[in-house]
Amino acid sequence: MFGRLWNLVRGFFGLFVSGLEKANPRAMLEAEMLAFQEAVGQYNTNLAKQAGMVERLKGQIAAQKKQLDQLTARVTANVAAKNMESAGQAALQAKQLKSDLTENEAQLKAADEMYQNLNRQRDVYVREAQRKIEMIKQKLSKAEMAEAQAKLAEMASSTAFNLSGSGANLDRLEKNLDERIADAGGKARVAQDSMKGGGWVVKEEEQKALEAQALAEFTASMGLPGAPAAKTDEAQAPKDLGPSDAVKA
């Protein structure tokens, strides 16, 4: 019973995690990239240990070869001196050293081959992981763009003709703006009409009459031809009759 319950809980937990992964693919990708970097770091640590063992074997073999050369020289010297007991002891040491040297050389070969294989395996793993990560990034960008376009399409199809929602609000907004424009136009027309019938029109006519009179007087005094006749107040007003004019009349 407890096993079935545990399977059920694990199943629910798996569904929950799957839902989170689908809802947050970018977060999942970042987590996988971090895990990949940690795995590569740990792998490099182990690879460094293997390389260190290879180097230690190389050093040990070099020392054994040097020691073997020394024992060989000792055996040769003792044989030449007819010191057979010392020569035998040195020869036995040399034999044992050769056996150790052969074993270490075989171990070095195997360790170096393992290092090379692990190094190539790491490179293949890293290249494959990088390829997958780049592919997932591209697919994630495409998915986000497709989802954004789909969301815009849904908004356009569901809200563009919803007169009871934002469509009606936009209509009211447009109507209010039209009323504001009409009110402003009416105020401007009233202002223009008041300017047409104001006292400034009379002042403008008086100014033009004064300008015409000044021009007529100036041209007459200068003897210029075609000068317009000046309309003065004296010409327009009736002339007073003097005594002589009264007799003539």
pLDDT in tens, 212-224: 887 787 777 777 7
* Domain assignment of residue 47, yes or no: yes
Q: What is the pLDDT of residue 61?
A: 94
Q: What is the pLDDT of residue 230?
A: 46
pLDDT tier, 249 (very low <50, low <70, confident <90, very high otherwise): very low
Mean pLDDT on 177-199: 73
The answer to whether 63 touches 121, Cβ cutoff 8 Å, is no
* Rounded-to-integer distance, Cα 221 and Cα 218, Å: 5
> Does the model's pTM come out above 0.85?
no
Lowest mean pLDDT among 79-83, 113-117, 223-227: 223-227
For residues 20 and 101, membership in a common domain is answered with yes
How does the average pLDDT of the chain come out, rounded?
75
For residues 141 and 18, membership in a common domain is answered with yes
* Domain assignment of residue 173, yes or no: no
The answer to whether 212 touches 228, Cβ cutoff 8 Å, is yes
- The residue segments making up the domain with residue 212 are 179-223
For residues 143 and 183, membership in a common domain is answered with no
Per the listing, tokens 């309309």 go with 231
* Domain assignment of residue 160, yes or no: no
pLDDT of residue 168 exceeding 60, the answer is: yes
* Domain assignment of residue 158, yes or no: no
Mean pLDDT on 182-187: 82
* Rounded-to-integer distance, Cα 135 and Cα 143, Å: 12
pLDDT tens for each residue of 11-43: 544 444 455 555 577 777 788 888 888 888 888
pLDDT of residue 159 exceeding 70, the answer is: no
For residues 85 and 19, membership in a common domain is answered with yes
In single-letter form, the type of residue at position 119 comes to N
Provide CB contacts within 8 A for 129, sequence distance 6+.
36
pLDDT tens for each residue of 78-98: 889 888 888 898 899 999 999
For residues 18 and 138, membership in a common domain is answered with yes
The answer to whether 30 touches 140, Cβ cutoff 8 Å, is no
* Domain assignment of residue 234, yes or no: no
pLDDT of residue 52 exceeding 70, the answer is: yes
The CATH number of residue 9's host domain is 1.10.287
Q: What is the pLDDT of residue 67?
A: 93
The answer to whether 213 touches 220, Cβ cutoff 8 Å, is no
For residues 36 and 98, membership in a common domain is answered with yes
In single-letter form, the type of residue at position 79 comes to V
How many structural domains is the chain composed of?
Answer: 2
Question: Greater confidence, 6 or 70?
Answer: 70
* Rounded-to-integer distance, Cα 184 and Cα 180, Å: 6
* Domain assignment of residue 167, yes or no: no
For residues 94 and 205, membership in a common domain is answered with no
* Domain assignment of residue 246, yes or no: no
